[in-house]
Structure 1
């Protein structure tokens, strides 16, 4: 039963991570100076890391039975 609840966050999280990694790849394919490529890659790389962290947290919440964050309040 919990597997069905994990599918949606997993799909959305992986799509976000793929989008950010794809953005970084496209940034390196464009003919601009290397320093600009690196600077333009820092933010998407950080966002991909945050998305992965949030995905792991959400999966842990679902596994522990805490399905609704609003139930705390």
Structure 2
């Protein structure tokens, strides 16, 4: 029952993380950009990918515990 509800968040998070990592690699390997811009251009998407994975883990915990909507917490 829970597996069907976990498919969409996992697929979307995987696509977003792949996009962020791809963007980070592009920023690193583009010539003609100053080093600071390369570092920031790679670091920010990697941080966002990490946050996306953290949010996915939290969502999976919510689904497994039966907490369907977050409104009951407020």
- TM-score relative to the length of structure 2: 0.88
Distance 1:70 1:14 in 2: 26
Q: Which moved more, 1:35-44 or 1:59-68?
A: 35-44
Q: CA RMSD in A?
A: 1.2
Q: 2:11 maps to which residue?
A: 11
Q: Runs of 5+ in structure 2 lacking a partner?
A: none
Q: Runs of 5+ in structure 1 lacking a partner?
A: none
Stretches (4+) displaced over 3 A: none
- TM-score relative to the length of structure 1: 0.89
